[in-house]
Chain A
Amino acid sequence: MITITDLEKYYATEEVRTIALNKLSFKVKEGEFVAVMGPSGCGKSTLLNILGLLDDPDGGSFVFNGIEVAGFNERKRADLRKHNIGFVFQSFNLIDELTVFENVELPLIYTGVKPAERKVRVDAVLEKMQIMHRRKHFPQQLSGGQQQRVAVARAVVNNPKLILADEPTGNLDSSNGNEVMDLLTELNEAGTTIIMVTHSEHDAKYSHRIIRMLDGQKVTENVLAEFKSV
């Protein structure tokens, strides 16, 4: 599903030029659950942003579903993104002025789903995330774990093929964290590809494979579970 080859990303500030990704290459198969680990500043988030089509690489190739997307302009990236990719962030990133229901509904609005169908789909996913009873609440009225469940619900409501999660448990205590990890595993078992950045070895164990990074490069790969391609 994803093939990156010699991917490069630089950040140029006034004086220093930081190499965030240095000729990074790997593949992710459809249906796989991959964890990305590494010390702070090694380029994990940068990688995820590029995989999520939020950012453009400075060099190398990125093939998504058989299409070379490196060099796509913002409009094309956005188009591809909204139909294929869901995001989960460490800091939830819900819109404070919208209710739980409305937050989850948002991606459907942008992909042009009709209101009646939106309601059905949002309700279904809220049910699945066990947050239905909070559908009319605003994000500030929820616990961190609940907020992250809403964020996951929003990420999956459009049935994306790929979910990118950047430290999804980073702001949660262990029991809430485990709940979110169980959710992700469930989604993965249902067929969704997941790439997750994490600092927690515990969370990484939920995945099939761990990619370890240092200074923008891949150092090792540990295969945890046999993954049979679908």
Chain B
Amino acid sequence: MIRNYFKIAWRSLFADKKYAFMNIAGLAVGMAAAVLIALWIVDELSFDRSYSTTDRLYQVYSKDSFDGKSNIWGRTPGPLVSALKSDFPEVEDAVRFAEDTELLSVGDKRLNTKGAITDSGFLKVFGVASISGNAATALTNPSGIVITQSLSKKIFGNTDALGKTIRINNKFDREITAIIPDFPSNSRFHKTEFLLPFEYWLQAWGSGMTESWTANNFITYVLLKPNMDLEMLNNKIQNTIRSHTSSSSDPVQTQIMLHPASKWRLYSKSENGQLIGGEITNVWRMGRIAIFILLIACINFMNLSTARSGKRAKEVGIRKVVGGSRKSLVFQFLGESVLLSFISGAIAFALAFIFLPSFNLLVGKSLYFSYDNPSFWLIAFSFILLTGLLAGSYPAFFLSSFKPIKVLKSGFKLSKNAFNPRKLLVVSQFAIAILLIICTVIIKQQTLFAKERDLGFDENNLLYVTLNDELKGNYEIIKKELIAKNLATSVTKTLSPISKIQSDRWGFSWEGSSESDKKQDFIYLSSDADFIKTSGVKLVDGRDIDIYNYKSDSTALLLNEKAVKVMGLKNPIGAIIRDDDKQMHVVGVVKDFIMGSPYEPVQPLMIEGPSAWFGYVNMRLNPLNATADNLKQIEAIFKEHNPLFPFEYSFTDQQYELKFKGEQTMGALASIFSGLTIFIACLGLFALAAYTTETRRKEIGIRKVLGAPVLLIATLLSKDFLKLVGIAFVIAAPIAYFVMNNWLENYQYRISIEWWVFAVVGLSAILIALITVSFQAIKAAIANPVKSLRTE
């Protein structure tokens, strides 16, 4: 029986090669897309779940409200860790964690490396086993360092690194106490290559930041004992910070809560004081796209099968007459679609395999097929089987319902009138395709819109380097030389790069400020001199900070216009602003410029003189020199005056570009996949049109004999399909509007949706459909009528 089904499935499939090709191509492309997306989704869902302690791991989040707005963030004060460990028996262990980039050197090998400073329990908390060295004690040695296997390879090659010494920042020697495996790509520590014990922080920067209950410098990870009730524990610990600061003058209201490891990746976006969204929205978005594509491909199959039902009807009739039951026919047709699905599935996996590297490049992941995992095969098998059943369900039940006495009568025709589900299928296919395309266009528009937003400073030709210890001492020599040699037109030291927010502060008071103004948050930046000249920010009032000509500029302040506005300063120049016992004076006001998100309004900003901290040196390159040449000469100067550190630089404009990466990736994915949906939909439409014209060949022949012109006939044949695409548009457009309106709500700085986008997409869809269909229609219309009338 099965063999018989298989045989007839195989033969009827390839009796009609065009049909087989269209069906397999559509289904294979759809499945390949779904497979790639599924890989992506599985990777997203697997983030931070591979630690052996995952289900007991938490990150502490802080919650507070400012200006009446609730806020939540993942950094916590230094002393929290010991309080949690001593006050709550539910806590098995807790560690502080701070990302850190250091210059590691061994001999003349020098590498700027990303790593972290953390408490001794880290490896235990995350269940990390060492490759060599003792994991349990590796971080208890105050002058130890733990490195990953790949860092060990980079520095020491294949020789055993355990016990060897690494010099950090040209200053501190650390002994390698353990080598651990690399953190996997679906771990948040993937880029972390070394771990330093917490003593390093104290030695390098002192204990100031670590003992304050109000400075949020650390991530706190907590490992709970098994089977703890999270909600109860959250209630218990929420006021831990408050209870330790009640005596201090600063009334801190900050509460804490535990955020489980399984949600770190997916729910990391803070909104109204809650971690509700984040990457999960992308997961849903991609999931929907995958389902849509697969559905469209399955609909193709349904459409084509039912379009061919005229051909299959006779077979159904005969089988029933000779004893076939309806059930056996349902199985037969399902078998056919499953067979087709397996052929398509094999091609789909081949396609997915071929395109995986480019897909990886696009999404910035290193996804792979785990062939060695039996569950991979099981899932692949079920996926193909399910697709086959889904695609075959409708035709199976439709075809098997034919009555033999009807279909075996000569001249049998499927009723053309009334409700035709095939039309519904075409409409839904195109509705989905149009929906995706409109969304893609709007996503692209929004990204472009934000990209073209005037930054308020000149991001081009603006270079920055990190201010290392040695550079701190030789900064002025280097600055002088850069300008003297005409390499840079101006140089300034800042706290963070100009297009990156790395610090914000509150707690200021000024003349006329109220108690609630203390909660006004300001983005914080610093400069020694020439900030305006270097950045290209516009000065509105007053002057730039210049410590070299004004001794008191150590505590000088520049404000942006937004800051002046929120502070309500009538005469900002000369205004005194207090931060605890520190007193600063405003020397200038600059026009608003974008440091943070290009999608959001500019926030109030303070730029402080040299009494603040510096982290970077910015240079405005001389535009008259060729960049490559310029860089070579700049490097030479750094080599001379900053020899202990490698010369590594960044361009502000390139760094700024990175802010669009998420949207750009999303936009690229959306365009690729919506392109695929329209491709698959058109494949289906093409084949459907071919079948429809075929069944109407006789009618066309008669019409031609009676004198109808080619154009009229082509129009007659195309009209029906275009009507369907039109209906699809009418359905898709409002949904697209609604969805995109919602999406745009995420952005403060956004486009408004314009009607012409809909018009253009709608017309294009109709045009594409017209080209697809009219190809068949014209072919039929110009065919010799004698031929089609004779064969019957």
A residues near B (Cβ < 8 Å) are 49, 52, 54-55, 74-75, 78, 81-83, 87, 89, 91, 93-98, 102, 105-107, 109-111, 154, 158
Contact = CB atoms under 8 A, between A and B. Distances in A.
B323 interface: yes
Contacts of B405: 49, 54-55
A89 B322 CA distance: 12
B7 interface: yes
Given A97-B11, A97-B15, A98-B8, A106 B319 contact: yes
A94 B326 CA distance: 19
Contacts of B323: 78, 81-83, 106-107, 110-111, 158
Contact of B328 (A96, A110, A154): A110
Given A54-B404, A55-B405, A78-B320, A91 B325 contact: no
Contact of A106 (B314, B322, B404): B322
Interface string B409-445: 0100000000000000000000000000000000000
Contacts of A81: 321, 323
A52 B321 CA distance: 9
Given A93-B408, A95-B315, A75 B8 contact: no
B322 A107 contact: yes
B734 interface: no
Given A102-B4, A110-B328, A94 B318 contact: yes
Nearest to B404: A54
Contact of B318 (A49, A52, A93, A158): A93
B224 to A, nearest CB: 61
Given A49-B405, A93-B314, A93-B408, A110 B8 contact: no
A105 B321 CA distance: 14
Contacts of B321: 52, 54, 81, 87, 93
B54 interface: no
A91 B410 CA distance: 8
Contacts of B318: 93-95, 106
Contacts of B15: 96-97
A97 B317 contact: no
A91 B411 CA distance: 11
A167 B326 CA distance: 27
Contacts of B4: 102, 105-106, 109
B12 interface: yes
B324 interface: yes
Contacts of B408: 89, 91, 93
A92 to B, nearest CB: 10
Interface string B325-343: 1101000000000000000
A93 B8 contact: no
B232 interface: no
B1 interface: yes
Nearest to A110: B323
Interface of B: 1, 4, 7-8, 11-12, 15, 314-315, 317-326, 328, 404-405, 408, 410
B329 to A, nearest CB: 10
Contacts of B328: 110
A-B pairs with lowest CB-CB distance, top 10: A82-B323, A110-B323, A97-B11, A107-B322, A49-B405, A54-B405, A97-B12, A93-B318, A95-B315, A106-B322
Given A54-B404, A55-B405, A91-B410, A102 B7 contact: yes
17 contacts: A49-B405, A54-B320, A54-B321, A78-B325, A89-B408, A91-B408, A93-B314, A93-B318, A94-B318, A97-B8, A97-B12, A102-B7, A106-B4, A106-B318, A106-B323, A107-B323, A109-B1
Given A54-B405, A97-B11, A98-B8, A110 B324 contact: yes
A96 B12 CA distance: 9
A37 to B, nearest CB: 20
Nearest to A82: B323
Nearest to A157: B322
A78 B318 CA distance: 12
Q: Which of A87, A96, A110 has the most CB of B within 10 A?
A: A110
Contacts of B324: 106, 110
Contacts of A110: 319, 322-325, 328
Contacts of B317: 93
B325 A75 contact: yes
B298 to A, nearest CB: 24
Contacts of B1: 109
Nearest to B319: A106
Nearest to B5: A109
Nearest to A83: B323
Contacts of A75: 325
A98 B7 CA distance: 8
Nearest to A97: B11
Q: Which of A49, A91, A95, A158 has the most CB of B within 10 A?
A: A95
Nearest to B324: A110
Contacts of A105: 4
A82 B404 CA distance: 14
A63 to B, nearest CB: 21
Nearest to A155: B322
Contacts of A78: 320, 323, 325
Q: Which of B4, B314, B322 has the most CB of A within 10 A?
A: B322
A95 B320 contact: no
Contacts of A89: 408
Nearest to B4: A109
Given A54-B404, A91-B408, 16 more contacts: A55-B405, A74-B326, A78-B320, A87-B321, A89-B408, A93-B408, A94-B318, A95-B315, A95-B318, A96-B15, A106-B318, A106-B322, A106-B323, A107-B322, A109-B1, A110-B328
Given A49-B405, A89-B408, A97-B15, A82 B7 contact: no
A109 to B, nearest CB: 6
A91 B412 CA distance: 13
A52 B325 CA distance: 15
Contacts of B315: 95-97
A96 to B, nearest CB: 8
B323 to A, nearest CB: 3
Contacts of A154: 322
Nearest to A75: B325
A95 B332 CA distance: 14
A157 to B, nearest CB: 9
A157 B4 CA distance: 17
Contacts of B326: 74
Contacts of A91: 408, 410
A58 to B, nearest CB: 14
A55 B323 CA distance: 14
Contacts of B325: 75, 78, 110
B749 to A, nearest CB: 62
A91 B314 CA distance: 11
Contacts of B410: 91
B13 to A, nearest CB: 10
A83 B325 CA distance: 13
B381 to A, nearest CB: 27
B372 to A, nearest CB: 39
A185 B344 CA distance: 51
Contacts of A83: 323
B69 to A, nearest CB: 69
A102 B322 CA distance: 13
A95 B8 CA distance: 10
A94 B317 CA distance: 10
B369 to A, nearest CB: 36
A78 B324 CA distance: 8
Nearest to A54: B405
A96 B8 CA distance: 10
Contacts of B314: 93, 95
A107 B405 CA distance: 18
Contacts of A98: 7-8, 11
A91 B11 CA distance: 22
Given A54-B404, A95-B315, A97-B15, A82 B322 contact: yes
B11 to A, nearest CB: 4
